[in-house]
Chains A and B, each alone.
Chain A
Amino acid sequence: MPEKNYSEINPAWEGRKPVIVGFLCNWCSYRAADLAGTSRFGYPATLRDIRIMCTGRLDPTFVIKALREGADGVLVMGCHPHQCHYDEGNYKAMRRMALLRRTLAQLGVHPDRIQLGWASAAQGALFTETVAAMTERIAELGPLEWRDTIEDNITPRMPSPEIEEVVHGR
């Protein structure tokens, strides 16, 4: 699949492409990703997938840390409702993701950057479609670059020459 030029969608990309961290459950979505691979389905090379045993194991810390460390989006995928290998891990994921998206919106993270989806082990095509759609959306939203934006404001700094002068003069 040819690589898109994301700066055509949003000039802020400046030659780099979106980074999406994917948390995929061992029993369904990770296998869907495997199936997509063995079936040679093409999809954007934006996803860094991490296998977890169940979406119910997903500590919201993982998502927040991914954003902090430079991800532009996080995709969590598990088994369809009623099909969780552990009965109700995916329901827990749904509740936590709902709460997490509300919380992060207040902190200025667009909810479309944190997405939840399902794909069974047989749905390789659905998996690739989900990744493609999310990549498209993240491309529109532009880079998040949390760390850079925040650290400029967190490292000790003197905001103006005037302050510089006053501080050194005292």
Chain B
Amino acid sequence: MAGNGKPKLALYWASSCGGCEIAVLALHEKILDVADAFDIVFWPCVMDFKEADIEAMEDGSIDICLFNGAIRNDDNEHMAHLMRQKSKVMVAFGSCAMEGCMPGLANFADREQMMKFIYHDSPSTDNPEGIEPQLVTEVAEGNLRLPAFWNTVRTLDQVVPVEYYLPGCPPEAKWIEAAVGAILSGELPPPGSVIGLDVTVCDECPRTKNEKKITRFYRPQEIIPDPDICLLEQGIFCAGIATRGGCGALCPQVNMGCRGCYGPNEGVIDGGARLIGAIGSVIEGRTAEDIDAVLDTLPDPAGYFYRFSLPHSLLQRVHLVNDNGRNVAQPIKEVPRLDPGLNV
């Protein structure tokens, strides 16, 4: 493989679902161009190269690494450092590597709460002996070791420096093409850039938009939406107003509110906070009681606002309280209500 003069490409998955790998295959026949143009040196999902092959390479010898997945255990972290060391350009590929995405929802809990639910309490768990994964297991052949599970999920750029970001869950094929094209032509944007558009999903959404005055929210199963009018106006939560475009507004076009997978627009520090600002300004009510009544129809606001971005937000995770030396996640259970005294 070495010495064929082609730029070297590596793809790696950390804590992810595999959807980003499928997104690469969604390039369809253009994947052949990618295979023609690049020397693919590492792609665990598709090709049989080992970690040792990468370790044997010289530092900085991989031209570009497309890294998808969040960093949730010590193996992810080790691979992030390894790929960074060997790669000239590191791309946070997809929402997990960029913002934390679904794995990042674990930051609403802590490690022990997660283990307890997954191995004991979840309705589909059948584990009468209460077996939990152990870090090290002794067997006749020696010690077997599983990756150590961190308390907090992090994004790629919280672990190693990252040159480019490719948003989306998963990224749309046209943007993967754009990224690959930019690399091949050498016309790369300045480091730190997000490869994509700087407009919101609303700009791409064909639905008719009027003034928004939301008097209650509907969950998708509670309403048959009008196919032509803005979903948010109909009370269906849609994150499009504070989400980066580039996807072509796929979800709103099939009666599903935007979920926010492309993350916030350029210059926004905290996507969830922007959504709070945007949604807060389109709901109705001038009294504490009326406002609370509207918000009571929107259960789990933090889940809506930080669905894709909790690890990359300002607060990063649910607050931890020290309980006898252990850091325990402690959300507030009661729903706060506005003070009726604010009405005067």
How far is A81 from B54 in the complex, measured between Cα atoms in Å?
64
- Chain A residue at minimum C-beta to C-beta distance from B320: A149
Cβ of B216 < 8 Å from any Cβ of A?
A: no
Taking a contact as CB atoms under 8 Å apart, the answer to whether B135 and A64 are in contact is: no
Taking a contact as CB atoms under 8 Å apart, the answer to whether B145 and A166 are in contact is: yes
Cβ of B277 < 8 Å from any Cβ of A?
A: yes
Render B311-344 as a binary contact track against A, CB cut-off 8 A, 1 for contact. Answer: 0011111111110000101111011111100111
Taking a contact as CB atoms under 8 Å apart, the answer to whether B317 and A94 are in contact is: no
Cβ of A70 < 8 Å from any Cβ of B?
A: no
From A109, A153, A170, B320 is in contact (CB under 8 Å) with A153
Taking a contact as CB atoms under 8 Å apart, the answer to whether A102 and B154 are in contact is: no
Residues of A within 8 A of B314 (CB): 61, 64-65, 67-68
How far is A116 from B341 in the complex, measured between Cα atoms in Å?
10
Cβ of A3 < 8 Å from any Cβ of B?
A: no
Task: State which size class the interface on A falls in.
Answer: 35 or more
Given the interface pairs A64-B273, A98-B338, the reply to whether A146 lies near B331 with Cβ below 8 Å is no
In angstroms, how far is the closest chain A Cβ from the Cβ of B129? Answer: 23
Render A140-170 as a binary contact track against B, CB cut-off 8 A, 1 for contact. Answer: 0000101001101110101100110011001
Taking a contact as CB atoms under 8 Å apart, the answer to whether B327 and A96 are in contact is: no
Taking a contact as CB atoms under 8 Å apart, the answer to whether B301 and A103 are in contact is: yes
Task: State which size class the interface on B falls in.
Answer: 35 or more
Taking a contact as CB atoms under 8 Å apart, the answer to whether A61 and B320 are in contact is: no
Cβ of B77 < 8 Å from any Cβ of A?
A: yes
Taking a contact as CB atoms under 8 Å apart, the answer to whether A156 and B159 are in contact is: yes
Taking a contact as CB atoms under 8 Å apart, the answer to whether B295 and A94 are in contact is: no
Given the interface pairs A92-B280, A103-B305, the reply to whether A170 lies near B316 with Cβ below 8 Å is no
Residues of A within 8 A of B316 (CB): 150, 154
Taking a contact as CB atoms under 8 Å apart, the answer to whether A81 and B302 are in contact is: no
Taking a contact as CB atoms under 8 Å apart, the answer to whether B301 and A99 are in contact is: yes
How far is A98 from B338 in the complex, measured between Cα atoms in Å?
6
Taking a contact as CB atoms under 8 Å apart, the answer to whether B270 and A99 are in contact is: no
How far is A64 from B270 in the complex, measured between Cα atoms in Å?
9
Show the binding face of B for A, using Cβ within 8 Å. Answer: 74, 77-78, 108, 135-136, 143, 145, 148, 150-152, 154, 158-159, 268-270, 272-274, 276-277, 279-281, 283, 285-286, 288, 291-292, 295, 300-303, 305-306, 313-322, 327, 329-332, 334-339, 342-344
Show the binding face of A for B, using Cβ within 8 Å. Answer: 59-61, 63-65, 67-68, 80-81, 88, 91-92, 94-111, 116-118, 144, 146, 149-150, 152-154, 156, 158-159, 162-163, 166-167, 170
Other contacts beyond A94-B342, A100-B273, A158-B148: 12, CB < 8 A:
A60-B280, A91-B285, A92-B281, A94-B288, A99-B295, A106-B303, A108-B331, A118-B342, A149-B320, A150-B152, A154-B154, A166-B135
